Structure 1
Amino acid sequence: MQMIVYLYRWKIKAGKELQFEENWSIVTEAILDQCGSYGSRLHRSAQGEYLGYAQWPDQLTREKCELDASVQDARVLMRDAIEFSYEDDLLEIRSDYLVHQLHVSP
């Protein structure tokens, strides 16, 4: 299976972590349903930064992704929680030993 991966990283405003997490999930589910992504994972580092790992079939699919208005509020709330957003990083998969599973929430 061909695939590309993007790594996203954010510093979240103090006290807005839950707001970010909840709205990240809403936006990510919409991306799965509407844009053809292969899914994403959200992580929190020991330093408190958030990292998102998103898999796509190819760069064109990601670039063509347009979400409908149903998630506009979630996108606004997600952005409101972000203090700083680092540049997206395109990763090339060289070796893959991840075990793929169904959606899991903590």
Structure 2
Amino acid sequence: MYIVMFEFVVKPGREADFLAAWPRVTQGIYLFKGSLGSRLHKSEDGQWIAYAQWPDRDTFERAQDVGMNEAYHREHQAMRDALNLEETRIVYKMDVACDYLQRRPFAVE
């Protein structure tokens, strides 16, 4: 699995726009580009941090050349419009060394 971590810088007064577009953009990237989804976090000091999961580095790199349909493209543009793109950045690109996230309770023996 391959992870890409982002730091998003949202324009003042545009958080609602960013948050409204985020789920649809994530869904479009999942449906059209092959991601495994992503999570968005807000740090204690107000930074927006996200990480996207990909099956592998090659799928992530190829995704840059894959388009989405018009509805998802509009959502992507709306999200970009809410961001300060000059300050938004990829923080890390990394391979998963050990994955132990669980969506269900751990089976404790």
**What's the TM-score bracket when you normalise by the shorter of the two chains?**
0.7 to 0.9
Q: What's the RMSD between the two structures over aligned residues?
A: 1.6
- Taking structure 1 as reference, are residues 56 and 90 closer, same or farther at Cα in structure 2, changes over 3 Å only? same
TM-score of the two chains, using structure 2 as the length reference: 0.80
Moved more, 91-100 or 56-65: 91-100
The structural deviation recorded for 1:82 is 0.9
Report the equivalent of 1:7. 5
Query: Helix, strand or coil: the match of 1:79?
Result: helix
Q: How many residue pairs were aligned? A: 99
The structural deviation recorded for 1:17 is 0.8
The 2-side partners of 1:87 and 1:44 are apart by 16
Query: Helix, strand or coil: the match of 2:44?
Result: coil
TM-score of the two chains, using structure 1 as the length reference: 0.82
Cα deviations across residues 31-72 of structure 1 (Å, max 9, x unaligned)?
111122111111111111111111101112112222232212
Moved more, 26-35 or 90-99: 90-99
Query: Helix, strand or coil: the match of 1:22?
Result: helix
Q: Taking every aligned residue pair, what percent have the same amino acid on both sides?
A: 33
Report the equivalent of 1:53. 51
Query: Helix, strand or coil: the match of 1:42?
Result: strand
Asked if 1:21 corresponds to 2:22, the answer is: no
Report the equivalent of 1:79. 80
Structure 1 moving runs of 4+ over 6 Å? none
- Taking structure 1 as reference, are residues 39 and 87 closer, same or farther at Cα in structure 2, changes over 3 Å only? closer
Q: Structure 1: state its 5+ residue gaps.
A: 102-106
Query: Helix, strand or coil: the match of 1:62?
Result: helix
